[in-house]
Amino acid sequence: MDNYHRGVKTRRKVLGEQHVARAEVSKTDFDGPFQDLITDAAWGQVWSRPNISLRERSMITIALLAALGQDEEVAMHVRSCSNTGASADDIREVLLHVAIYAGVPAANHAIKIVKETFAEMEKEKGAA
């Protein structure tokens, strides 16, 4: 299997069918090459490697995104933890590391995003 197709499979496993379907529907000629790149490189070459688990990759990704202040991406990857096995306790530990190694303001802001995301997820679960 090539990296692109492996990436599609991993992306669906991590982010979920609905998320990937929405992304595919909204893909345009403008962002199509970018979507192909991240599917091949991020999902097919990095996320699909066997050396560490999807749970561990989720934790690393959340830490990096929190440190970079990428709010929407943090929220998306927090949601994906239900597919990768990273728990709320895991995310808390990650954000403690962010506080020490990337700064308290970055961790504090990420904690706010994570709490909002957890609340939205609970509300969605209750509505289902």
CA distance 89 to 53: 17
CA distance 67 to 69: 6
The pLDDT tens digits along the chain (128 residues) read 899 999 999 999 999 999 999 999 999 999 999 999 999 999 999 999 999 999 999 999 999 999 999 999 999 999 999 999 999 999 999 999 999 999 999 999 999 999 999 999 999 988 87
CA distance 58 to 94: 10
- Domain span(s) for CATH 1.20.1290.10 in the chain: 52-128
**52-128 CATH:** 1.20.1290.10
